[in-house]
Structure 1
């Protein structure tokens, strides 16, 4: 797990959007988390993966912005925003195995063709019925 020190991100309390009545209108329970990727202590590999990802939450300046407003309390939204930050950084650090293209086996080709033939027989049976009258 990648450790991100608290001083590398800023948390700002804002008013949440959506329905909720009086509570949502007067309490700043949503959290904006801003994390500057370029200024962080992350490794260069993770930084480049984050900066080159097509994530809409990353601004042109390289700042990751997370808005957490799922919960009613500010503390719960704070925990949620930090957990989401850790999840994004963890996902950027994962290296997926390279998939090598393989040819389909002869048996799988035969199964595919027989399935198509059976489907064709079913569809041919849907035609107009000619009576013996």
Structure 2
């Protein structure tokens, strides 16, 4: 379980089981594209999340309906600290602003896929000639 404070609210997110994660990764990859996956691997902060959302939303190849559905799904996978405990997240309530919703969604992707992406998108080891060794 991971927690992060975003927009003054503490959010909690648990990793989903592998079968759900595989399906979610497929949907997210389709909507977000490869460049977004590198941002998730490297850890997104508020500015990176907003910038990436703008790129995706304004892309001529993007689908705003799919992007909005993915953001809502990811936010819905989180919980927000309320009066006495944690409550389900609902866009417009917690998170209230568009900025917070986008940041929570990208953070949820980090929780789900950062460890996988750090291995899957790691650079290949240098070849013997690149490392200064003779072939």
Shorter-chain-normalised TM-score: which range? Answer: under 0.3
Q: Which has the higher contact order (CA 8 A, sep 6+)?
A: 2
Normalising by structure 2, we get a TM-score of 0.25
Question: Given the two structures, how large is their TM-score scaled by the length of structure 1?
Answer: 0.25
Higher helix share: 2
